[in-house]
Amino acid sequence: MSDHAYHHWFGLGGVPPHDNPSAYRWERRLHPAMIVAALLAIPAFYLEEVAGSPVSRGMGWGIEAFVFLAFGAELLWMLRLTHHKVRYLVINWLSLFIVLSAGLSLAGWGTEWVPLIRLIRLALVAMLLARMLGALRNLFSPEGLPYLFAFALVLLLVAGAGFYWLEPTVGSYAEGVWLAFTSGTTVGYGDIVPTAAASRLFAVFMVLLGYALMSVVTAVIVSFFIGEDEKRLRREMHRDIKQLRDEVARLREELRQREGSGAEGAGQGKENAPPAAKEG
């Protein structure tokens, strides 16, 4: 399956080919904002499902409402810009599912359908993380490797603060960063482990994000070396093609020179030939 078909299959197709140029520009502009909106799903899920107090649940509901409005506004704006609206919805079905799931979650807040709403919220977080990784797909190249490292560093520092806040056995910010590193890299030395329900849930997200980032970074590094070999082979192929073209041009020139010499010799032979005898 090609990379283009892969993104279509997982609902990350973006703007269809040969569409409105403004749609492509706005898609690039909205990427950073949608990454931030997707990341907000994690604290919203924690505040609503783990923290427990009415104030925290209200804050989580507010963050989830902001996520719903952000993705809904993005979807409506892109549908306004794109010329192929139905095709855009088909190849970006993940965005539509995110908006619908967020709307259902908000509509069911405080109702008796608590287990179903929790399942919807968990699925919403997973879809938002998938959408976030899809928004970062342009960084999955050798040129985007520094940005990936910067993103991983920021994620590590933020996760360290999260563990320092959520885990009672973490006594300092440095220990929180260390726990975030061992969780994200799936090393798990065991010197510091999450014990509270909130920190364990936070560790689950760290493992998923860390494993995904490490896989991407490894793939980018491998593609860099493979790309260098491909560039070398491409340069050699271009050099061979250039040499072949030069040889063909030289052979054509020699052929033209020989044809010209042959025609000139034939003309001189006709001039020097004795006149034909007249018929009696």
For residues 74, 75, 79, 84, the Cα torsion angle rounded to the nearest 10 degrees is: 120
Inform me whether the pLDDT recorded for 76 exceeds 90. yes
How far apart are alpha carbons 178 and 107 in whole angstroms?
Answer: 39
Contact 188, 178 (CB under 8 A): no
pLDDT-based confidence at 67, cuts 50/70/90?
confident
Nearest to 13 by CA among 74, 76, 97, 91: 91
Q: How far apart are CA 5 and CA 247, in angstroms?
A: 42
The sign of the dihedral angle between the CA atoms of 163, 168, 172, 174 is negative
Over its C-alpha atoms, the chain yields an Rg (Å, rounded) of: 33
How does pLDDT run across 181-202, given as a tens digit for each residue? Answer: 998 888 888 888 888 877 887 8
Question: Can you tell me the distance from the alpha carbon of 248 to that of 209, in angstroms, rounded to the nearest whole number?
Answer: 56
- pLDDT, tens digit, 9 for 90 and up, residues 103-119: 877 776 555 555 555 66
Q: What 3-state class would DSSP assign to 113?
A: coil
Alpha-carbon torsion (147, 148, 154, 157), positive or negative: negative
pLDDT of 6 higher than 50: no
Q: What's the average model confidence in pLDDT over 153-177?
A: 88
Q: Residues 35, 62: contact at Cβ < 8 Å?
A: no
Asked if the model's pLDDT at residue 48 lies above 80, the reply is no
Residue 109 main-chain phi, psi, to 5 deg: -70, 125
Task: Give the CA distances from residue 139 to residues 38, 108, 234, 250, 251, in Å, rounded to whole numbers and listed in that order.
Answer: 17, 37, 24, 46, 48
Give 271's pLDDT tier (boundaries 50, 70, 90).
low
Of 85 and 225, the one with more pLDDT? 85
Confidence at 276, pLDDT banded by 50, 70, 90: low
How do residues 222-261 score in pLDDT, each as one tens digit?
777 776 667 777 788 888 888 888 888 888 888 888 877 7
Average confidence score pLDDT of the chain: 77
Contact 188, 214 (CB under 8 A): no
pLDDT band at 174 (very low <50, low <70, confident <90, very high): very high
The model carries a pTM of 0.54
* N-term to C-term CA, the chain: 88
Largest CA distance in the chain: 132
Cβ neighbours of residue 138 under 8 Å, at least 6 residues apart?
31, 144
Q: Where are the alpha helices (DSSP H) in 136-272?
A: 145-166, 173-184, 197-272
> Which of 75-84, 111-120, 203-212 holds the top average pLDDT?
75-84
Q: What percent of the chain has pLDDT over 70?
A: 73
Structure tokens of 228? 């260098």
Angle at the Cα of 44 from the Cα atoms of 40 and 47, rounded to 5 degrees: 145
| In the predicted structure, residue 280 carries a pLDDT above the cut 70 | no
